[in-house]
Structure formats: C-alpha cells, structure tokens
Amino acid sequence: MHHLTTLDDYSWPTCGPCGRQLHQDELGRVACRLCQDRADNALRQLPGPSGLYASLAARLTPGRGGDGPVVSVSRTAPLPVRLEPLSLMARGGVVTILQAWLVDWHEQLGWRHPRWEGDLQQQLDQVVQALRINLEWAATEHPAFADFMQEISSVVRQCERQVTGERAERPIAVACPCGTTLRVTVSTPGARCRGCATQYGRNEVLDLPLAHRAAA
Ligand SMILES: [Zn+2]
Ligand SMILES: [Zn+2]
C-alpha cells in the first residue's frame, strides 16, 4: 500500500481576500468571483450625483442633511465643518486612495500613467469606472488584490458611516485554537491568524470562540 504523504501536504488553492477554497473554474485566480463581486459592489456605491461620495458634502455642516437639529446661522458666521467627511472628500481621501490603486494597476499592466481630469467628483467617477473595467483582471492576477479589497471596503464603510450617521463597527476579539487573538468585525471577509497562519473564511472566523479580554 502506498503512503499518500504528498496528498496530505497538498492544500487546495484558496481565495486571497476571503480564504475560501477556489472552485474548479476559479483555479489560477487570486480572488474568488464572490470577492470580485463584493469589490464591484463596494466601488459602485461611490460615484454619481446620488453616490456616497457626493452625499458626503451634505454631511459637512451640522444641521444640513444631518441628524442634528437645524440651526439658523447668520450669513456672516462661518458654518462649523465636520472633519471626518471633509477628510474623506478632500484630496488625500477617497479619490486619492482609488487613484493610487489605478496607478499601481497601470504599472502592473505596463500601461502609461492614467490622467486625471476635472474636479474631484469627476475624477472620482472616472477612477471608479476605470477600476471596475479592470476588476476582472485584478481579481484574477493582481497579487495585492486582497489589500485592494480591504482598503476599498474600509473606505466605503467610512463613507457610509458618515452619510448614514452610523457608528463605527465594533471589533470583536476571537480566539484561534493556537491561542492567538484575532480582531475582526462582523463584515470581515475573512482573516489570517498571525500565530499559526491559518486562513479563515468569513463564517469560520465568526464561529471562533470569543477571546477573553485579558488575553487580548
Ligand atoms: Zn473570496
Ligand atoms: Zn492561530
């Protein structure tokens, strides 16, 4: 009888972002199709006149489109500005994060540097469109697709929180059987344990026992 030690060592390829085992027809891809769809859904929230990015503007000043009471302000007094939506809207925020990824993708593909045109809203619309057009390539081949997903999911969640006034998701500490504490949120796509390198999918990681505070 043969010993099938090589089979024991073999591990089926998994999706970078969520850790799920890839389907037959997904083999060779960096990310599974579900994760590609998730990334596309996140990107689609942002552009357009009724998108999250445009909606941030309504949250800049308390009392306007916000949850606070409507205050009447004299014409000469400057309105207090909320900093969180501003930091997402300004250069260095959402638009810059997405543009940095598009520059990176162009470099990976050997294309020339993308050009930005128009105001920030127009640039946002353009960069989202360009990323979505190339998403299939990125989810198939880009080695850093998991980082891309994490970053855009996080930035979209931040925008959502500002627009809806929702509070930040609280991180949950769960315990890996190896003793390492993992900090995740309910919307996590999955996590890799720093201690034993086990890759958990979303459901698996949320099934882990809660870690004791003292162990965190
Ligand atoms: Zn996946
Ligand atoms: Zn572990």
> What does the alpha-carbon distance between residue 174 and residue 130 come to, in Å, rounded to a whole number?
37
Distance 34 CA to ligand 2 centre (A): 25
- Min mean pLDDT across 95-104, 115-124, 133-142, 176-185 is at 176-185
Residues with beta carbon < 5 A to ion ligand 1?
A: 15, 17-18, 32, 35
Q: In 22-93, which residue ranges form alpha helices assigned H by DSSP?
A: 33-44, 52-56, 83-89
17 CA distance to ligand 1 middle (Å): 5
**CA angle at residue 161 from 158 to 166, to 5 degrees?**
150
Closest C-alpha to 19, from 40, 34, 37, 39:
34
The helix/strand/coil state of 206 is helix
Q: Which of 154, 144, 151 is nearest to 107 (CA)?
A: 144
- CA–centroid distance, 69 to ligand 2, in Å, is 48
Q: What is the pLDDT of residues 127-171, one digit of tens each?
A: 999 999 999 999 999 999 999 999 999 999 999 888 887 666 678
Say which amino acid occupies 149. M
pLDDT digits 0-9 by tens, 2-27 = 555 556 667 889 999 998 899 999 99
Confidence of residue 69 (pLDDT cuts 50, 70, 90): very low
User: Ligand 2: distance of its center to the CA of 200 in Å?
Assistant: 10
What's the average model confidence in pLDDT over 182-200? 88
| ∠ Cα 40 85 183 (to 5°) | 65
pLDDT grade for 215, boundaries at 50, 70 and 90: very low
> Which ligand lies nearest to the CA atom of residue 178 in the structure?
2
Contact 54, 161 (CB under 8 A): no
Q: What is the mean pLDDT of the chain?
A: 85
Euclidean distance between CA atoms 170 and 42, whole angstroms: 20
> 6 C-alpha to center of ligand 2: Å?
24
What CA–CA distance (Å, rounded) separates 167 from 164? 9
The pLDDT of residue 40: 97
Question: How much is the pTM?
Answer: 0.69
Could you list which residues have their CB under 5 Å from ion ligand 2? 176, 178, 180, 193, 195-196
Q: Measure 179 CA to ligand 2 centroid, in angstroms.
A: 6
Rounded (10°) CA dihedral 172, 177, 180, 185: -20
Residue with tokens 């990323």: 131
Q: Which ligand is nearest to the CA of 145?
A: 1
Give residue 179's pLDDT.
92
In this prediction, residues 201-205 reach a mean pLDDT of 88
CA of 202 to the centre of ligand 1 (A): 9
